[in-house]
Every structure is written in structure tokens, then in C-alpha cells.
Amino acid sequence: MTEDSQRNFRSVYYEKVGFRGVEEKKSLEILLKDDCLGILPPHHESHAQVMKYRKEQYSDVLHALKVIRFVSEATTQVEVYLRMYQLESGKLPRSPSFPLEPEDEVFLAISKAMEEMVEDSVDCYWIIRCFVNQLNNKYRDSLPQLPKAFEQYLNLEDSRLLTHLKTCSAVSKLPYDLWFKRCFAGCLPESSLQRVWDKVVSGSCKILVFVAVEILLTFKIKVMALNSAEKITKFLENIPQDSSDAIVSKAIDLWHKHCGTPVHSA
């Protein structure tokens, strides 16, 4: 059985025996042990040496950014992460005053959320870097298909709600970037967000669709009372935080309902 299969098997097992929401692998643990993401080799005896190299690389890149005056002591930590990523990927702009690209805004949103989950700045940067690379590479073709999948599954769960969205011309204006490009960073609190990102890291971005569907189902009464695309979108961009854990748990139920055993649900 592959490592991805083992992860998802454990997830399904825990949830079937009643431990809904128990995460057998936290995001940090997965990312630090997964050699397919390029952070650490599979042999644990090599980890200390590799982490030493990673820290040195982090320091070297940070020093280079300070020398060329792209970052300073006043630069926020998430912006430091962004500039490091840009430099390493060959996308550093000619001046720090240049406006940010949409992909930079996505990176900052993910970084801000990850910063709340991971204390060590070196670990945090490498996790952000590899998480974003996974989105940009492994899920590059899948992510643009998620809005259509969202519409399909919402229709199966509540066709009347989807009809209301269409009547308000809201379907094309829903916060898809927030949901599917930022993976709900800035939408869900970190405690709930980590449970969703665990699934993404484990091999399925489709969980994002079911979180979006469940948000609509949870706030159906509120959404049905709104009669314009602008009002609906504004509400969905700032949903109440107190029901986030329940939303994620129900989204995982929907995921299992429609996709079965989620090993191949990418």
C-alpha cells in the first residue's frame, strides 16, 4: 500500500469508528515526512543533516534579499516568505514597490494562515513553499475544474438553492478564488483550515468543493434571503466563524458520500 493510500485509509478508519475530525497526520507532520514534496528524504537518519541544509539555505536567501534591499527589519514575516519564494523561483520583481500579482496575493493569504499553525519560521517557509508548489503543479489542471464540480454537487444536494443562485446571477460571481485558489485561507479559522489542508496534502483537492457546498447548505436560509449576486458574494466572503468545525465535518461526510473511499478523489 502506498503512503498516500495509508494516510487516507487511516483517515477513513478513524472516521468510521466514530472519531470524526481526528487527524492521523497533521499538516506539519505530513509535509516534513513526505519526500514526494521534496522537503525531507524518507530515511529519518538523514533528517538532521537535511534540516541543517534547509536552515542554511533559508539564511542565505534571506541574506541575499537584505543585501538587495528587498526586505528589512520592518518587513512582515509573510512578505519575507513571499520574497524568498519569488527569488528562488526566478519571479522576483525588479523593485519591491511593484504591485503584487494575483498569485502573490494567494501566496500571502496561505502564508498568513500557515504562520498561525507553524511556530518555527524555517519550517513554516518550507511548508508554505511546498504546499503552494503542490497547488501549482499537482493540482494545476484540477483547480480550474472545481467551480463546475461545485455547481454539480450543489445541484445534487439542493437544486432549489442552486436555482436561487442562478436567478440572482450569482453562480459566476461566487468567491471561487477564496475557496479554491487560497484553499479557504482567510475564510475559515486555522483550526478548521488545518483539517481541510490535511486532506489536500494527502492527495485530494476535491475536498475544497465539498467545503464550499457545505457552506452554502449551512447558510441556506441566509443566502436564500439575499436577492443580489453582490450581497451573496459579500456574505460568503465573510461567513460566521462559530460553525466552521461543523461545516468541515459535514463537508468530509459529503466527500465520502459522493466519492467513496477518498484515495483516488483528487
Q: How far apart are CA 172 and CA 106, in angstroms?
A: 20
Whether residue 24 has pLDDT greater than 50: no
Q: Are residues 230 and 246 in the same domain?
A: yes
CATH of the domain at 226: 1.10.472.80
Mean pLDDT score, 98-112: 97
Is residue 14 one of the residues assigned to a domain? no
Residue 213 maps to a domain: yes
Looking at the chain, the whole-number percentage of residues with pLDDT higher than 70 is 81
Residues 241 and 130 in one domain: no
Q: What integer pLDDT is reported at residue 250 of this predicted model?
A: 97
pLDDT per residue as tens digits for the range 29-50: 555 555 445 555 666 667 788 8
- pLDDT for 48 equals 84
Q: What is the pLDDT of residue 14?
A: 47
**3-class DSSP state for residue 19?**
coil
Instruction: Check which CATH number belongs to the domain holding 56 and give it.
Output: 1.10.8.680
Out of 106, 121, 137, a domain closes at: 137
Torsion of CA 242, 244, 245, 247, to 10 degrees: 130
Query: Cα(65)–Cα(15) distance, rounded to whole angstroms?
Result: 45
Residue 8 lies in a domain: no
Q: How many CB atoms lie within 10 A of CB 33?
A: 16
Domain assignment present for residue 173? The answer is yes
Q: Mean pLDDT throughout 254-265? A: 75
The total number of structural domains that make up the chain: 2
Task: For residue 224, tell me if it sits in a domain.
Answer: yes
Residue 8 has pLDDT above 70, yes or no: no
pLDDT tens digits, one per residue of 120-161: 999 999 999 999 999 999 999 999 999 999 999 999 999 999
Yes or no: say if 191 and 204 are a contact pair by the CB < 8 Å rule.
no
Residues 230 and 155 in one domain: yes
User: Amino acid identity of 102?
Assistant: P
Mean pLDDT is lowest, of 32-46, 69-83, 149-163, 193-207, for 32-46
Comparing C-alpha atoms, which of 176, 202, 201, 190 is closest to residue 248?
190
Judgement on whether residues 115 and 146 belong to the same structural domain of the protein? no
Query: For the residues of 109-146, what is the DSSP string, one character each?
Result: HHHHHHHHH---HHHHHHHHHHHHHHHHHTTTTTGGGH
> Is the residue at 2 inside a domain?
no
> Within this chain, do residues 106 and 184 fall inside the same structural domain, yes or no?
no
Instruction: Identify the pLDDT of residue 37.
Output: 58
* One domain for residues 94 and 192: no
Over residues 159-177, mean pLDDT: 98
Q: Are residues 155 and 121 in the same domain?
A: no
In terms of Cβ atoms closer than 10 Å to its own Cβ (0-12, 13-18, 19+), residue 165 is: buried
Which residues, other chains included, contact 12 with Cβ-Cβ below 8 Å and sequence gap of 6+?
256, 261, 262
CA 193 – CA 242 distance, rounded (Å): 13
Q: Specify the pLDDT at position 104.
A: 97
Handedness of CA 241, 243, 247, 249 (dihedral sign): positive
Asked if residue 6 belongs to a domain, the reply is no
Domain identity same for 183 and 206: yes
- Residue 169 per-residue DSSP state: T
Among 137, 158, 176, the domain-final residue is 137
> Helices then strands (H, E): number in the chain?
14, 0
Residues 169-197: what's their mean pLDDT?
96
What nine digits make up the cell of 117?
A: 499553525
Same domain, 207 and 240: yes
Last residue of a domain, one of 86, 110, 137: 137
Q: What percent of the chain has pLDDT over 90?
A: 76
pLDDT digits (tens, 9 = 90+) for 212-248: 999 999 999 999 999 999 999 999 999 999 999 999 9
Q: What is the mean pLDDT of residues 81-90?
A: 97
pLDDT at 47: 76
Tell me what pLDDT residue 26 has: 54
The answer to whether position 10 is within a domain reads no
> pLDDT value at position 113?
97
Residues 188 and 99 in one domain: no
| Element of type H or E holding 236 | helix 229-237
What is the pLDDT, as a whole number, of residue 92?
Answer: 97
> In which domain, by residue range, is 144 found?
140-261
